[in-house]
């Protein structure tokens, strides 16, 4: 045990300086007033007035996460059943867009979806009317799915490669049809992967501001935009920004709590 705690020392320091202390600072700023620095709940009360923004962010993030899961799950399963060489190729293709800068990747969508963008100029050249593809919540969801899909695929893939082929064969031997193989064998075994995938997709999606800023137009103001404005915009109010981000943290914390309770259930189930 002793050697263990010694080895953990640098990590404890790291967590202390880069997680615990910043977190305390956020709480400190959220609870104090702008000029005098006296304790107040005004920032938090103010932040809660913009609950609609939070609701909208959660709603878009939930949809994006669900779509990511639906797309990523079959892909990850198929991938895990491919030959090793093929797996490497597909994984590379999945990760390839991530090598490019996040902002550029999102910016590229403007060129595609714009009123005079690639799709619309193609439609016009065919003599078809233009369609409104950008500056709405669908474009934001698209941006989220596109950017965070690899985050969903990778944990799913890594857990599915661990599902032994013989387990699937055993279930088939015991009379499962292909649907039952999925629901009774693959799904329960890959459950932790799903939870990780949802977590790492949902959290950045709910707090994004780049995507909504670039693709969302005037009706997609998200909680991330709100926070960004408080720190970098001309509103410049650290205390209020901290309160807003604290509110977001609480929401993320609660949703993670819900997800994790599933995880525990699952573990208990498998132990039984």
Q: Which residues bind other proteins (CB under 8 A)?
A: 34-35, 46, 49-50, 52-53, 55-56, 58-59, 62-63, 66, 110, 114-117, 132, 135, 214, 216-219, 221, 225-226, 229, 232-237, 240, 258, 261-262, 265, 268-269, 272
Taking the C-alpha atoms of residue 197 and residue 207, their distance in angstroms, rounded to an integer, is 16
Cβ atoms of 215 and 113 closer than 8 Å = yes
Taking the C-alpha atoms of residue 252 and residue 207, their distance in angstroms, rounded to an integer, is 9
Cβ atoms of 170 and 215 closer than 8 Å = no
Q: Which is nearer to other proteins, 35 or 173 (CB)?
A: 35
User: Least distance (Å) from other proteins to the CB of residue 89?
Assistant: 35
User: Least distance (Å) from other proteins to the CB of residue 143?
Assistant: 14
Q: Which is nearer to other proteins, 173 or 268 (CB)?
A: 268
Helices (H), 16-136: 21-31, 42-48, 51-80, 84-95, 102-113, 118-125
User: Least distance (Å) from other proteins to the CB of residue 119?
Assistant: 12
Taking every pair of C-alpha atoms in the chain, what is the biggest distance, in angstroms?
Answer: 75
Taking the C-alpha atoms of residue 147 and residue 91, their distance in angstroms, rounded to an integer, is 15
Q: Which is nearer to other proteins, 141 or 159 (CB)?
A: 141
Q: Which is nearer to other proteins, 169 or 235 (CB)?
A: 235
User: Least distance (Å) from other proteins to the CB of residue 71?
Assistant: 18
């Amino acid at each position: 045990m002793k050697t263990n705690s010694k080895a953990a020392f640098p990590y404890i320091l790291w967590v202390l300086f880069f997680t615990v202390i910043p977190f305390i600072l956020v709480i400190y700023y959220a609870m104090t007033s702008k000029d005098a620095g006296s304790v107040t709940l005004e920032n938090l009360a103010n932040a809660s007035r913009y609950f609609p923004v939070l609701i909208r962010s959660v709603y878009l993030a939930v949809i994006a996460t669900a779509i990511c899961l639906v797309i990523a799950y079959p892909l990850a399963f198929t991938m895990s059943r491919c030959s090793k060489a093929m797996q490497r190729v597909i994984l590379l293709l999945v990760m390839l867009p991530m090598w490019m800068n996040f902002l550029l990747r999102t910016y590229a969508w403007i060129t595609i979806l714009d009123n005079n963008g690639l799709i619309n100029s193609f439609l016009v050249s065919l003599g078809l009317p233009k369609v409104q593809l950008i500056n709405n919540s669908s474009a934001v969801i698209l941006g989220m799915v596109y950017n965070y899909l690899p985050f969903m695929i990778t944990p799913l893939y890594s857990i599915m490669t661990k599902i032994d082929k013989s387990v699937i064969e055993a279930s088939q031997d015991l009379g499962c049809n292909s649907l039952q193989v999925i629901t009774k064998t693959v799904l329960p075994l890959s459950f932790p992967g799903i939870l990780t995938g949802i977590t790492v997709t949902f959290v950045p999606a709910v707090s994004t501001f780049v995507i909504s800023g670039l693709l969302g137009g005037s009706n997609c103001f998200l909680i991330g935009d709100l926070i960004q404005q408080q720190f970098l915009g001309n509103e410049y109010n650290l205390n209020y920004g901290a309160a807003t981000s604290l509110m977001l943290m609480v929401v993320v914390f609660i949703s993670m709590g819900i997800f994790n309770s599933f995880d525990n259930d699952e573990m208990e189930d498998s132990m039984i």
